[in-house]
Chain A
Amino acid sequence: AQSVTQLDSQVPVFEEAPVELRCNYSSSVSVYLFWYVQYPNQGLQLLLKYLSGSTLVKGINGFEAEFNKSQTSFHLRKPSVHISDTAEYFCAVSDPGYSSASKIIFGSGTRLSIRP
Chain B
Amino acid sequence: ETGVTQTPRHLVMGMTNKKSLKCEQHLGHNAMYWYKQSAKKPLELMFVYSLEERVENNSVPSRFSPECPNSSHLFLHLHTLQPEDSALYLCASSQVFNRGADTQYFGPGTRLTVL
Q: Which of B41, B55, B90, B107 contacts A108 (CB 8 A)?
A: B41
Q: Summarize A's interface: helix, strand, loop or mixed.
A: loop
Whether the pair A100, B99 counts as a contact (CB closer than 8 A) is yes
B45 adjacent to chain A (CB < 8 Å): yes
Contacts of A42 in B (CB 8 A): 108
Tell me how many residues of A have a C-beta within 8 Å of chain B. Answer: 30
B30 to chain A, nearest CB (A): 9
Q: Which of A44, A90, A98 contacts B99 (CB 8 A)?
A: A98
A33 to chain B, nearest CB (A): 10
Contacts of A98 in B (CB 8 A): 99-100
B104 adjacent to chain A (CB < 8 Å): yes
B98 to chain A, nearest CB (A): 8
Whether the pair B45, A43 counts as a contact (CB closer than 8 A) is no
> Quick one: which of A62-82 are within 8 Å of B by CB?
none
Contacts of B45 in A (CB 8 A): 103-105
Q: Give 11 new A-B contacts, CB below 8 A, not counting A9-B40, A103-B56, A107-B42.
A: A32-B101, A41-B108, A44-B104, A46-B103, A90-B43, A96-B101, A100-B48, A100-B96, A101-B50, A102-B100, A102-B101
